[in-house]
Amino acid sequence: MATESSTHRPPVVLGIETSCDETGVALVDAERRVLAELLHSQLERHAPYGGVVPEIAARAHVEILDILIERAMREAGVTFRDLAGVAATAGPGLIGGLLVGLITAKAIAAVHRLPLLAINHLEAHALTARLVIGPGPEDRLDFPYLLLLVSGGHCQLLVALGVGRYRRLGTTLDDALGEAYDKAAKMLGLGFPGGPGVERAARAGDSTRFALPRPMLGQPGCNFSFSGLKTALRQTIERLGPAALEPPLLHDLCASFQAAVADVLLDRTRRTAALFRADYPDATSLVVAGGVAANAYLRACLAKLAAELDLRLLVPPPALCTDNGVMVAWAGLERLALGLADDLAAPARARWPLDPSAEPAPGAGIKA
Ligand code: KG4
Ligand code: ZN
């Protein structure tokens, strides 16, 4: 006869991500095992428009989501009855897509009487580093930690104080960093999303060829600004004419752009780390998260900075920096462990800051 311990299975949570143009579904357990992980990109559908079209995104999520859930459950050998909870991104993001994922999660939760976990997408990025740590006790990532969150919609420096508790120290005054990459790529004819294309082209380029501005460098505070850099890049491209869109100038422009971005990121992070250290003297970790954290050049620059500041740097593997279902399932597990399940009336929210005290109150959201 099976004993209780031999039949024990750690809690498993289903995670659903539909906030933008990737449909992500994953099953993760409380022992940090990823049992299934599926990602469906809508890139091809949005490519002709040079950016994500919200209506197309929502419809594409509807078409694929239940297929992915079924496939993930089959791959993991898990039934709905085995689940401890179902988590979906509830915001921030494109409202149509959020509604698709959240309503699906609510339906599963209602039918199978499971806890619903309505996840903040930014928190899912923020907590991923706690999933990917090593097995040893020395690998633990405890709160508080300093968090550089760089994605398509956000560029912020925060203190992660605990699950659901964040203190924002700095943010962008204009464009998010991923957005700046996407706009740079568009000007240079490198397609969407722009980050990977700019990074690839920059590898062969001379980063000293063009002296692009480093907005906010050396200024007090922890905020960012990227619009001046973007404008300077546009003016440089206009001055160079069609040659700017071909190597070697294309490569040099991308390398010069990335070097400017890195200088700004390092300056702002260095300054914020000093404040963080003063307020939390026992904290030792710097986490970088969000799609732009997939960039190998920026990762290497940040690793040097962390070594200089004697901070331990944690950056999830590239595939877990860009949007995915694993991070949503993991955030669900973190919240479930604290008894933070949500009501079936939880709304989808286009805006949902991690530190509401630092931003104007978001709207009430849309009932899913
Ligand atoms: O986190 P994410 O997948 O979606 C949002 O929550 O926004 O981030 C997407 C952003 C896009 O702007 C994309 O261009 C950028 O991350 N990105 C990169 C790289 N890979 C993705 N930026 C720079 N270098 C990369 N390798
Ligand atoms: Zn994201």
Which pLDDT belongs to residue 137? Answer: 86
Q: How far is the CA of 146 from the centre of ligand 2 (A)?
A: 18
Q: Which ligand is nearest to the CA of 124?
A: 2
| Ligand 1 pocket mutation, candidates 190, 292, 297, 326, criterion most atoms within 8 A of CB | 292
Question: In this model, does residue 179 exceed pLDDT 60?
Answer: yes
DSSP label of 173: S
85-113 average pLDDT score: 98
201 pLDDT more than 70: yes
DSSP assignment of 29-77 equals ETTS-EEEEEEEE-HHHHGGGTS--HHHHHHHHHHHHHHHHHHHHHHHT
Mutational test site, ligand 1, from 39, 41, 200, 322, max ligand atoms within 8 Å of CB = 322
**What is the per-residue pLDDT across 6-19, written as a single tens digit (0 to 9) for each?**
468 899 999 999 99
Average of per-residue pLDDT values in the chain: 95
**Ligand (nearest to CA of 226):** 1
In three-state secondary structure terms, 87 is: strand
Its pTM stands at 0.96
pLDDT at 366 over 90: no
Point out the ligand nearest to the CA of residue 294: 1
What is the average per-residue pLDDT within 244-257? 98
Task: Please report the atom of ligand 1 found closest to the CA of residue 322.
Answer: 3
Name which residue sits closest to atom 8 of ligand 1, judged by CA: 291
> Given the CA of residue 153, which atom of ligand 1 is nearest to it?
7
Q: Give me the pLDDT at residue 6, please.
A: 47
Name the closest ligand to CA 192: 1
Ligand 1 nearest-atom number relative to CA 154 = 7
- For residue range 294-319, list pLDDT tens digits in order: 999 999 999 999 999 999 999 999 99
Candidates 153, 148, 194; CA nearest to 174 is: 153
The pLDDT value given to residue 253: 98
Which residue minimizes the CA distance to atom 23 of ligand 1?
195
Q: Which residues line ligand 1 (CB under 6 A)?
A: 20, 151-153, 178, 181-182, 193-196, 199, 290-292, 294-295, 322-323
What spacing in Å lies between the alpha carbon of 322 and ligand 1's midpoint? Answer: 6
Question: Which tokens go with 157?
Answer: 């420096």
- How far is the centre of ligand 2, averaged over its atoms, from the C-alpha of 178 (Å)? 10
Pick from 26, 63, 28: nearest CA to 42? 63
Backbone angles phi, psi at 155, to 5 degrees: -145, 100
The mean-pLDDT minimum among 3-12, 75-84, 107-116, 266-275 falls in 3-12
Amino acid at 67: I
Whether 2 shows a pLDDT value over 70: the answer reads: no
Q: Is there a contact between 79 and 14 (Cβ–Cβ < 8 Å)?
A: no
- Determine the pLDDT at residue 120: 98
Question: Which residue type does 273 have?
Answer: A
Residues with Cβ within 8 Å of residue 2, at least 6 apart in sequence: none
The confidence band for 50, taking pLDDT boundaries of 50, 70 and 90, is confident
Ligand 2 centroid from CA 151, angstroms: 6
CA gap 329, 33 in Å, rounded = 11
Question: 146-159 burial string, b = 16+ CB within 10 Å, else e?
Answer: bbbbbbbbbbbbbb
Give the position, in ligand 1's atom list, of the atom nearest the Cα of 152: 7
pLDDT of 329 higher than 90: yes
